[in-house]
C-alpha cells in the first residue's frame, strides 16, 4: 500500500500491479491499444506513457507503483507525444472507416477522434495485402493490423494454441499464422478470442447479415430464429439499457418485427441436451466405459480435442449441441407438405459465438443430407441488424416465444456461463425441485470464475468427480492431468471461452470486469425467475419425446462421429 500524486491529486494504491491500473482507479481513462489485464503486459503501443516530476517519460503499464511517485498524465508534452503515436499508426493503416466492419467499435478510430486528428501528415507506403477469408468464422485483414500483439497473446496465453505470431520485419511486420498459412490451414478453433482482443478491424467476425435479410424478404421462405442463452444478457447494453439484464422478451419482439416467422429460445434444446447427455452419462457409468464424459456443446473445444488429443475422441458426448439439436428438430417438424405448405424453412441461429458458424457447416451437422442450421449470426451482428431496422429497441414491449418449442427451463438458461451445463445435469440427477434443493446444487462447486474447478458429488451412493474448465489453456492443463493419470474424473465440462459463452467471440467486445460480472449475474437472475428449473420437468420436452422424437432420438440429437 502507498500513495502517489496523479495530476495533483493524492491517490492510494494497494495491490495494483502497475501505475496504469492506479491511474484508471483514479478515474482517468488513459488510452491503450495493447494492454489487457488478463494477458501479459506487452508495452508496445506506448499510448499509456506518462511523465513524472523529473521529466522522465515511461509506459505506465510496465511500471510498478511506488510510494511517493508524482505522475502527470496530460501534460502538454505527453498530449503531443500521444497524438503523434496515433498519427503514425494511422499513416500505416487502411482508413476505409465508413465501410469498415469495426466502424463505431474501433479503438484506433475512437482515439483519432479523441485526439482531434483530422489530417494525417504522413503517407502510407505499405502495399495492400489480401484478406484471409478462409475461416468459416473470422476474417483477417492485414491492412488494419497495428502490431499491438493482442491477438497473439490471447491465442497463446488464454487459448494455449499459438496460431498467430509475428512475421516479417520492419515495415513489413504483421501478426499472422506461421509459414504464411491461411487460418483454415492452422489449428484455429474459431473461438474468436483474437477478434475480441483486436482493437481494430484487423480480425473481425465473418458476417452473414445479408443472407438473413434475403431469407426474410423471400415470400416462399419461413424464417425461424433460435436465440442462445448468452445473447440476452449482452444486447441491452448496446441500447443504453442496464448492463447484463436479460432482454429476451424484447429480442423476441424485435425479431418478430424484423420479419422472422417464428422465434425460439435455445434454452429449450439445452434442456434436450441435458436429457440426452445425462442418460448417456448414466449408461457409461453403468458399464464403466468412456469415462470421463466430455461435454460436446462447445464446437471450439470439440475441435481442440479432436486436433490435439484425438485418442480421447470417444470420450466426447455424442450429443449434438443445443444449436444443432434445435435446428434438426425444427427441420424435422417442417418436413412434409402438410406442415410446410410448400415453404422452405431457413433456421437462423443467433449466438454469442463465432465457432458456431464453423459448427453449422461441420459434416456431422447435417440430417438427411440437409444442413440443420442454415445461417449463424453473432450477437454483434444482431445488434447491427436491429440498428439497421430502425426499431427503437428500448421501448419494445416484451413478447413470448412461439409454440410448439417456446419454453426453456432455467437449467437451459444457465448453459451460457461456465459450470452451467454441469449444474443443469446435477439438477437433472436431483430427486426434488424445491428452492432448497436447487440452492444445494448451486453450491456444489460448479459456479465461480476460476478457470479450473474440481469437486465431488454423490449420486445414488456413488462418488462422482467433476471438473469444470473454461479457456483452452486451462483445458490443456486438465487434459495433461488426465493423460498422466494424475486426475480421475467422471464428468468434464469444457467451454473454450473464459467464463463461458457470455464471453464468446461474437459478443460485443471490450467488456470490462463490471460487464463480465453483469452478464453472469444476468443469466443466474433469469434462471431464478423461471418457474421450471429442471430440464426433465419442461413439459414441452416431455411431449416432444412422445411425438416428433419417437424413434428418431439418435438421428436428430446425436453425432455418429467426430
Ligand atoms: Fe452457448 Fe450453448 S451455451 S454453446 O455458449 O451447450 O454459443 O449462450 O447457445 O449450442 O444452449 C453458445 C451460449 C449456446 C449451444 C446452449 C450449449
Ligand atoms: Fe462458442 Fe461458447 Fe465455446 Fe466460446 S465457449 S467457443 S462462445 S460455444
Is the CATH number 2.30.30.100 carried by domain 85-203?
Answer: no
Span from the CA of 233 to the centroid of ligand 1 (angstroms): 13
Q: How far apart are CA 540 and CA 406, in angstroms?
A: 8
Q: Does pLDDT of 364 surpass 90? A: yes
Q: How far apart are CA 408 and CA 401, in angstroms?
A: 10
- What ligand 1 atom has the least distance to the C-alpha of 266? 11
From the CA of 360, the nearest ligand is 1
Q: How far apart are CA 549 and CA 330, in angstroms?
A: 11
Is the CATH number 3.10.20.740 carried by domain 1-73?
Answer: yes
511: phi then psi, degrees, rounded to nearest 5 = -80, 120
Does the beta carbon of 350 lie inside 6 Å of ligand 2? no
What pLDDT was estimated at residue 319? Answer: 98
Does the beta carbon of 352 lie inside 6 Å of ligand 2? yes
What pLDDT was estimated at residue 125? Answer: 80
Q: Which of 349, 351, 354 is nearest to 374 (CA)?
A: 349
Interface predicted TM-score (ipTM) of this complex, two decimals: 0.93
Does the beta carbon of 451 lie inside 6 Å of ligand 1? no
Q: Of all residues in the chain, what percent carry a pLDDT higher than 70?
A: 100
What pLDDT was estimated at residue 62? Answer: 96
C-alpha cell, 561: 462421429
Tell me, rounded to whole angstroms, the distance of Cα 242 from its chain centroid. 20
- The CATH 3.40.950.10 portion of the chain extends over 219-555
Test site for ligand 2: of 356, 357, 365, 418, most ligand atoms within 8 A of the Cβ: 356
Summarised one tens digit per residue, pLDDT across range 192-244 is: 999 999 999 999 999 999 999 999 999 999 999 999 999 999 999 999 999 99
Taking CA atoms, 8 is separated from 70, 74, 384, 507, in Å, by 8, 11, 42, 39
Q: What is the mean predicted confidence (pLDDT) over 47-63?
A: 96
What pLDDT was estimated at residue 37? Answer: 84
Q: What is the mean predicted confidence (pLDDT) over 286-299?
A: 97
What pLDDT was estimated at residue 94? Answer: 87
Test site for ligand 1: of 316, 321, 362, most ligand atoms within 8 A of the Cβ: 321
What pLDDT was estimated at residue 528? Answer: 96
405 within 8 A of 540, measured Cβ to Cβ: yes
Residue 544, number of CB atoms within 10 A of its CB: 21
Angle between helices 248-258 and 379-389 (to 10 degrees): 60
From the CA of 322, the nearest ligand is 1
Does the beta carbon of 353 lie inside 6 Å of ligand 1? yes
141 within 8 A of 94, measured Cβ to Cβ: yes
What pLDDT was estimated at residue 336? Answer: 84
Residue 257 confidence class, pLDDT cut points 50, 70, 90 = very high
386-391 long-range contacts, CB within 8 A, separation 24+: 386/235, 386/239, 386/254, 386/258, 388/209, 389/254, 389/257, 389/258, 391/254, 391/257, 391/258
Backbone dihedral region of 290: left (phi > 0), alpha (psi from -120 to 50 degrees) or beta? left
Span from the CA of 349 to the centroid of ligand 1 (angstroms): 11
- What ligand 1 atom has the least distance to the C-alpha of 501? 5
Test site for ligand 2: of 197, 355, 499, most ligand atoms within 8 A of the Cβ: 355
Q: What is the mean predicted confidence (pLDDT) over 250-256?
A: 98
Does the beta carbon of 377 lie inside 6 Å of ligand 2? no
Q: What is the mean predicted confidence (pLDDT) over 416-430?
A: 98
C-alpha cell, 269: 434444446
Cβ-in-10-Å burial (0-12, 13-18, 19+) of 129 comes to middle
Q: How far apart are CA 126 and CA 128, in angstroms?
A: 6
Span from the CA of 120 to the centroid of ligand 2 (angstroms): 39
- What ligand 1 atom has the least distance to the C-alpha of 353? 7
Q: What is the mean predicted confidence (pLDDT) over 146-153?
A: 96
Answer whether the bond into residue 292 is a cis peptide, omega within 30°: yes
Q: Does pLDDT of 124 surpass 90? A: no
Does the beta carbon of 355 lie inside 6 Å of ligand 2? yes
Residue 270 confidence class, pLDDT cut points 50, 70, 90 = very high
Span from the CA of 256 to the centroid of ligand 2 (angstroms): 26
Does the beta carbon of 228 lie inside 6 Å of ligand 1? yes
Give the CATH H-level superfamily of domain 219-555. Answer: Fe-only Hydrogenase (Larger Subunit); Chain L, domain 3 (3.40.950.10)
Span from the CA of 228 to the centroid of ligand 1 (angstroms): 6
Q: Which of 417, 283, 445 is nearest to 352 (CA)?
A: 417
Q: What is the mean predicted confidence (pLDDT) over 25-35?
A: 94
- What ligand 1 atom has the least distance to the C-alpha of 267? 11
Q: Which residue has the cell 521529466?
A: 55
Does the beta carbon of 379 lie inside 6 Å of ligand 1? no
What pLDDT was estimated at residue 38? Answer: 87
Residue 92 confidence class, pLDDT cut points 50, 70, 90 = confident
Run of H or E residues at 203 = strand 203-205
Residue 286 confidence class, pLDDT cut points 50, 70, 90 = very high
Test site for ligand 1: of 322, 378, 420, most ligand atoms within 8 A of the Cβ: 322
What pLDDT was estimated at residue 83? Answer: 95
Q: Does pLDDT of 504 surpass 90? A: yes
SS3 string, 386-427, reads HHHHCCCHHHCCCCCCCCCCCCCCHHHHHHHCCCHHHHHHHH
Residue 13 confidence class, pLDDT cut points 50, 70, 90 = very high
Does the beta carbon of 412 lie inside 6 Å of ligand 2? no
- The CATH 3.10.20.740 portion of the chain extends over 1-73
- The CATH 3.30.70.20 portion of the chain extends over 85-203
Span from the CA of 452 to the centroid of ligand 1 (angstroms): 19
What pLDDT was estimated at residue 355? Answer: 98
Question: What rounded mean pLDDT belongs to the chain?
Answer: 96
Cβ-in-10-Å burial (0-12, 13-18, 19+) of 15 comes to exposed
Q: How far apart are CA 330 and CA 307, in angstroms?
A: 31
Q: Does pLDDT of 171 surpass 90? A: no
Q: What is the mean predicted confidence (pLDDT) over 281-309?
A: 97
Apex CA 422: angle with CA 418 and CA 428, to 5°?
140
Residue 162 confidence class, pLDDT cut points 50, 70, 90 = very high
Does the beta carbon of 469 lie inside 6 Å of ligand 2? no
Q: Does pLDDT of 338 surpass 90? A: no
Amino acid at each position: 500500500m502507498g500513495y502517489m500524486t496523479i495530476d495533483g491529486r493524492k491517490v492510494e494504491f494497494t495491490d495494483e500491479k502497475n501505475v496504469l491500473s492506479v491511474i484508471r482507479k483514479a478515474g482517468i481513462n488513459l488510452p491503450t491499444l495493447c494492454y489487457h489485464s488478463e494477458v501479459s503486459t506487452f508495452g508496445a503501443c506506448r499510448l499509456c506513457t506518462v511523465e513524472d516530476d523529473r521529466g522522465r517519460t515511461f509506459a505506465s503499464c510496465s511500471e510498478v507503483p511506488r510510494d511517493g511517485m508524482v505522475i502527470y498524465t496530460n501534460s502538454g508534452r505527453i498530449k503531443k507525444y500521444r497524438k503523434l503515436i496515433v498519427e503514425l499508426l494511422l499513416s500505416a493503416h487502411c482508413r476505409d472507416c465508413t465501410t469498415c466492419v469495426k466502424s463505431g467499435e474501433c479503438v484506433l478510430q475512437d482515439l483519432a477522434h479523441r485526439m482531434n486528428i483530422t489530417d494525417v501528415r504522413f503517407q502510407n507506403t505499405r502495399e495492400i495485402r489480401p484478406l484471409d477469408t478462409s475461416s468459416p468464422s473470422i476474417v483477417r485483414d492485414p491492412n488494419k493490423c497495428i502490431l499491438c500483439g493482442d491477438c497473439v497473446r490471447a491465442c497463446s496465453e488464454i487459448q494455449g494454441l499459438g496460431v498467430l505470431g509475428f512475421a516479417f520485419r520492419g515495415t513489413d511486420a504483421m501478426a499472422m499464422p506461421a509459414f504464411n498459412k491461411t487460418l483454415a490451414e492452422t489449428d484455429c478453433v474459431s473461438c474468436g478470442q483474437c477478434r475480441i482482443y483486436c482493437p481494430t478491424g484487423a480480425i473481425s467476425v465473418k458476417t452473414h447479415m445479408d443472407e438473413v435479410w434475403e431469407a426474410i424478404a423471400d415470400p416462399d421462405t419461413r424464417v425461424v430464429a433460435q436465440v442462445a442463452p448468452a445473447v440476452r444478457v449482452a444486447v441491452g447494453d448496446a441500447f443504453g439499457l442496464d448492463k447484463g439484464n436479460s432482454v429476451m422478451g424484447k429480442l423476441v419482439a424485435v425479431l418478430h418485427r424484423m420479419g422472422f416467422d417464428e422465434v425460439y429460445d435455445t434454452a429449450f434444446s439445452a434442456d434436450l441436451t441435458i436429457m440426452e447427455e445425462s442418460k448417456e452419462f448414466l449408461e457409461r457409468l453403468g458399464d464403466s466405459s468412456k469415462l470421463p464424459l466430455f461435454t460436446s456443446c462447445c464446437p471450439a473445444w470439440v475441435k481442440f480435442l479432436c486436433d490435439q488429443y484425438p485418442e480421447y475422441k470417444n470420450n466426447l458426448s455424442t450429443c449434438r449441441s443445443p444449436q444443432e439439436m434445435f435446428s434438426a428438430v425444427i427441420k424435422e417438424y417442417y418436413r412434409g407438405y402438410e406442415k410446410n405448405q410448400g415453404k422452405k424453412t431457413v433456421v437462423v441461429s443467433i449466438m454469442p459465438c463465432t465457432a458456431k458458424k464453423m459448427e453449422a457447416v461441420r459434416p456431422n451437422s447435417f440430417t438427411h443430407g440437409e444442413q440443420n442450421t442454415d445461417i449463424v449470426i453473432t450477437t454483434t451482428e444482431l445488434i447491427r441488424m436491429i440498428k439497421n431496422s430502425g426499431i427503437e429497441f428500448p421501448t419494445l414491449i416484451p413478447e413470448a416465444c412461439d409454440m410448439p418449442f417456446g419454453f426453456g427451463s432455467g437449467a437451459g438458461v444457465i448453459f451460457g456461463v461456465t459450470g452451467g451445463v454441469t449444474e443443469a445435469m446435477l439438477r437433472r440427477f436431483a430427486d426434488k425441485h424445491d428452492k432448497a434443493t436447487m440452492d444445494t446444487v448451486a453450491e456444489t462447486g460448479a459456479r465461480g470464475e476460476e478457470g479450473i474447478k474440481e469437486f465431488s458429488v454423490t449420486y445414488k451412493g456413488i462418488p462422482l468427480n467433476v471438473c469444470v474448465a473454461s479457456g483452452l489453456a486451462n483445458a490443456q492443463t486438465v487434459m495433461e492431468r488426465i493423460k498422466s493419470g494424475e486426475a480421475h474424473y467422471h464428468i468434464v465440462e469444457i467451454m473454450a471461452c473464459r467464463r463461458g459463452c457470455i464471453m464468446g467471440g461474437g459478443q460485443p467486445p471490450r467488456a470490462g470486469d463490471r460487464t463480465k460480472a453483469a452478464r453472469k449475474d444476468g443469466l443466474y437472475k433469469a434462471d431464478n425467475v423461471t418457474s421450471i428449473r429442471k430440464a426433465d420437468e419442461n413439459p414441452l420436452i416431455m411431449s416432444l419425446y412422445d411425438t416428433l422424437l419417437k424413434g428418431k432420438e439418435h438421428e436428430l440429437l446425436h453425432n455418429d462421429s467426430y
